[in-house]
Amino acid sequence: METLGWTLIHFLWQGALIGVAYGLADFACRRSAAEIRYALACAAMVLMAASPCLMFGFLGAHPAELAVAIVRPAQLTSAGVSVPAPRAGGASVKWVVGLWCLGVAALSLWAAAGWVMAQRLKWKSRKLAPEIWRQKLAGLAARLGVTRAVRLCESALTGAPAVIGWIRPVILLPASALTGLTAQQIEVLLAHELAHIRRCDYLVNLLQTVVETLLFYHPAVWWIGRRIRAEREHCCDDLAVSVCGDAVVYARALTDLESLRTGATEFAMAAGGGSLSGRVRRLVGRPEERSVPSWFNVMAPVLGLASVFFAGGGAVAPSTKAAEQRPPAETPKGPKGFLAGLREAGYTSLTVDEIIQLKDRGLTPEYLKGMREAGLGALRPELLMKLRDHGVSPQYAAKALAAGIVGLEPEQLILLQQHGVDPEDVRRIHALGIGPLTARQAVELRQQGVTHSSIDNAQKQGFGKLSLPQIVKLRRAGVI
């Protein structure tokens, strides 16, 4: 028992050092791909699991070391922490083991209950999804390289698509999604679930839960576990986007899905898992900022706790409070295509909702860039959407501005387009010495059927320089 107790105690400083090392490495790789950050977090979790095993084996092979120094000060000097030699804790160490056993038992029951709930959800959701979606799933599976058989079932008990099982995986498609989401949105969410199956995330999640249960008392274990889950979702997001090719549609699918969610179980891999806002921001190329203090504040108290224990020679009850989750990982380059085009067009400070609205209304980066190059500058998204809805193209805007129409704004461009005013005709009217015209004057001439040809004929008939009211009167009288 003393061997186990001292193993648990020594893991306080061992886990803290692993957490600090991982935090530095993760911060250094913050601009790397999600796959790299996920592998880094999994490697840290493996070290967390291996460290107490190695220490237990060492103490078991050297029982005399239980009462003498096991970790010398020189071993921790590089980390800036001085740890005196521990003294045998006696009864206190037995209390540590007892509390640890109680914690493991409680969390094991909690994990078992979650697994049972997931299996019940799977058992109760046996109705196969419509044939069209099963065919879609088969096509997506082929594109993702998923070779094992995957069942697609419709469920009224879950609010988000979820995958349960590893050997015989089942994807649960909520009935609300069939009516509340578009076909394209459902397709990209199914691709996300297939990505979990391809990556064997269900099995990894089970193994991760075992480690978290056994080492529950260390905040660094929970923190790294959260990082694994966050990066796991990012990896699946990237795979889903690579298959379906539209990050903005996927971001909209996640936001629409949130309104349909009724809850999820820990042992189901759900498309709505992780930090939703962080995932959406990452997909649209605006990840949240990350900083070193967020992980340092977790590790510093643990190192201090370990140092106080060894200095005082008494056992300290382990902490079961998990560290706060860090913001989702930053993606370096963001999705390609639409978002990169927006940045190239000069739109670098749009909100997530604005980006999604532009995409949904069919505004391409080329359209935005064209409007800017036409001379309208960086218009607000709502004005761009109005121009697009009324059929105002960048070419039309450029011709209207080149024609010299006075006070030309987006509203006037819409007015000209609605009444079929030809900017080239206005330019020729100006060349005849009439104007410069405002947008409303150009519309009035268009409504009266006055063109540059009719004005040119009037001037050739000897009318000289005419005013706009005179031109309109002559047109109405049928003179020109």
Dig out the tokens for 307 from the structure.
Answer: 């140092």
Between 49 and 31, where is the model more confident?
49
Strand order in the sheet with 269-270: 151-155, 170-174, 162-164, 269-270
Tell me how far apart the terminal alpha carbons of the chain are, to the nearest angstrom.
110
CA distance 280 to 283: 5
Average pLDDT of 142-154?
89
Tally of CA atoms within 13 A in the half-sphere of 346 that contains its CB: 13
Q: Is the pLDDT at 42 greater than 50, yes or no?
A: yes
Residues 6+ apart with CB under 8 A from 35: 235, 238
For 58-81, how does the pLDDT look when each residue is reduced to its tens digit (9 = 90+)? 887 876 555 444 444 444 444 444
Cβ(350)–Cβ(368) below 8 Å: no
Helix or strand holding residue 153 (H, E)? strand 151-155
Q: Is the pLDDT at 275 greater than 80, yes or no?
A: no
**DSSP H helical segments within 158-200, as ranges?**
175-180, 183-198
Q: Quote the pLDDT of residue 334.
A: 41
Dig out the tokens for 359 from the structure.
Answer: 């995409």
Dig out the tokens for 362 from the structure.
Answer: 């069919």
- List 406's β-bridge partners, or say none: 438
Dig out the tokens for 228 from the structure.
Answer: 């694994």
- What are the C-alpha distances in Å from 327 to residues 33, 215, 222, 271? 16, 23, 15, 18
Cβ(196)–Cβ(163) below 8 Å: yes
Q: Is the pLDDT at 33 greater than 70, yes or no?
A: yes
CA distance 57 to 54: 5
For 359-371, how does the pLDDT look when each residue is reduced to its tens digit (9 = 90+)? 877 888 899 889 8
Regarding pTM above 0.85, the answer is no
Q: Is the peptide bond before 436 cis (omega within 30 degrees of 0)?
A: yes
For 422-445, how does the pLDDT look when each residue is reduced to its tens digit (9 = 90+)? 999 899 988 888 878 899 888 888
Report domain extents, the chain: 2-312, 338-476
- What are the C-alpha distances in Å from 456 to residues 47, 212, 347, 447, 480? 87, 87, 44, 18, 9
Q: Is the pLDDT at 391 greater than 50, yes or no?
A: yes
Q: Quote the pLDDT of residue 78.
A: 47
Between 468 and 411, where is the model more confident?
411
Percent of the chain residues past pLDDT 70, beyond the cut: 78
Rounding to the nearest 10 degrees, give the CA dihedral for residues 289, 294, 296, 297.
160
Closest CA to 5 of 84, 100, 69, 83: 100
Closest CA to 34 of 170, 195, 160: 195
Dihedral sign for Cα atoms in the order 10, 12, 13, 15: positive
Average pLDDT of 330-339?
51
For 180-208, how does the pLDDT look when each residue is reduced to its tens digit (9 = 90+)? 788 888 888 999 999 999 999 889 999 99
CA 414-416-417 angle, 5° bins: 65
Closest CA to 159 of 234, 268, 240: 268
CA 275-190-272 angle, 5° bins: 15
Question: For tokens 């990012």, what's the residue?
Answer: 234
